[in-house]
Structure 1
């Protein structure tokens, strides 16, 4: 169970990928190593991912910022004390409010122990998270990739990754999650590094069009 503990670890993984895949190598040469930002784990981190589901990066940042300003310390008890009107005022949809409450209740009742979960293997973490209402593959995989920094995670359902691969490899159509997951096996055991570089590549290519 490999983990990216530092920027150096991520760079080393990308250097390996660049030597094996010319297209990733060209992207690495142009964009370099993406920053390995530290993100909050446990309830705060998973709540942020829930809020980020199916909205743009900019919208997710705005909504989450309002949520943090409202709640103060992002703790499950504080989440449960918020009203529907307050959460709606942040821009959080009713379904997501329900998911956040279910998550908060699970933590408060000791049904979800992040200290134990975060030490578990990838499969256990993934299965535990997707068993919860409102948490799908993308959210579970992003928790593993960004918060736990697991090296071989690839959120194949992510639209930016799908478009990034389409552009980089000249696909006629955007690959769906199943096709992209199969395609990404070539980058194992460094699929997480490939994903980070592909996000950087896609954002860079989009910026060139502006």
Structure 2
């Protein structure tokens, strides 16, 4: 099993968000410091992000557990030696299977290096991953947070996040303009804001797909 690490941030992140957004501040004070784990194996984190794209959190957890039972750790070697038909039986779509296997093949052939990204800022990193064949913005953002542990990734393409934002701010709809304004407010701690919105989502009624 991969050794998961904490997403590290200090009290200055909480102070920044409290001062930046009066609507979010009461929730930060309510929850205190929220914690989250990340998988430092970036390929494995990306596979998890692809699995979760466009489905509910419960469905994603079930599919991922089935994939883990089939493949073991989400390593390039394990993915390539796993039978595509059996992968389909875990609940993965053909498109997601093709995306994951294509990534694994390119890494194995040394055509793709997911570790050569330290020179990229957070937005550039998300754009790099989202530019890979079959990888959505949502999967890229989730990997940036729960793989690399980057601190300034405010999720846009996640429907659970959008519902939380709408609840906190009293929005009846969500738009790119509203997202851009909040992203600017929360920077350089967009990731931490995302973690608080995930915590808020636990209070929301269940149901609906997670949109990527």
Shared fold per TM-score greater than 0.5: yes
RMSD, aligned CA? 2.2
Give the 3-state SS of the residue equivalent to 2:13 in structure 1: helix
Q: Which residue of 2 aligns with 1:98?
A: 98
Rounded to whole Å, the distance in 2 between the matches of 1:137 and 1:35 is 23
Write out aligned runs for 1:111-122 (5 A).
Answer: 111-117=111-117, 120-122=120-122
Measured against aligned partners, the alpha-carbon deviations of 1:148-168 in whole angstroms (never above 9, x if no partner) come to 111111121111111111111
Rounded to whole Å, the distance in 2 between the matches of 1:58 and 1:40 is 23
Name the stretch that deviates more: 81-90 or 48-57. 81-90
Q: Which residue of 2 aligns with 1:80?
A: 80
* Cα separation, partners in 2 of 1:19 and 1:122, compared to 1, 3 Å: closer
Q: Gaps spanning 5+ residues in structure 2: where?
A: 207-212
Shift of 1:7: 6.4
Name the stretch that deviates more: 111-120 or 185-194. 111-120
* Cα separation, partners in 2 of 1:205 and 1:11, compared to 1, 3 Å: farther
Rounded to whole Å, the distance in 1 between the matches of 2:6 and 2:72 is 29
Q: Which residue of 2 aligns with 1:195?
A: 194
* Cα separation, partners in 2 of 1:127 and 1:111, compared to 1, 3 Å: farther
Write out aligned runs for 1:22-61 (5 A).
Answer: 22-61=22-61
**Structure having greater relative contact order (Cα 8 Å, sep ≥ 6):** 2
Measured against aligned partners, the alpha-carbon deviations of 1:19-56 in whole angstroms (never above 9, x if no partner) come to 33222110112222221213242211111111111111
Name the stretch that deviates more: 46-55 or 18-27. 18-27
TM-score, structure 2 as length reference: 0.85
Q: Which runs of 4+ in 1 moved over 6 A?
A: none
* Cα separation, partners in 2 of 1:124 and 1:70, compared to 1, 3 Å: same
Rounded to whole Å, the distance in 1 between the matches of 2:111 and 2:121 is 18
Rounded to whole Å, the distance in 1 between the matches of 2:118 and 2:41 is 9
Shift of 1:137: 1.3
CA contact (8 A) 1:17 1:190 kept: yes
Measured against aligned partners, the alpha-carbon deviations of 1:141-193 in whole angstroms (never above 9, x if no partner) come to 221122111111112111111111111111122x0355423432211111111
Name the stretch that deviates more: 189-198 or 27-36. 27-36
TM-score, structure 1 as length reference: 0.86
Q: Gaps spanning 5+ residues in structure 1: where?
A: none
Give the 3-state SS of the residue equivalent to 2:115 in structure 1: helix
Shift of 1:203: 1.6
* Cα separation, partners in 2 of 1:16 and 1:36, compared to 1, 3 Å: same
Q: Which residue of 2 aligns with 1:126?
A: 126
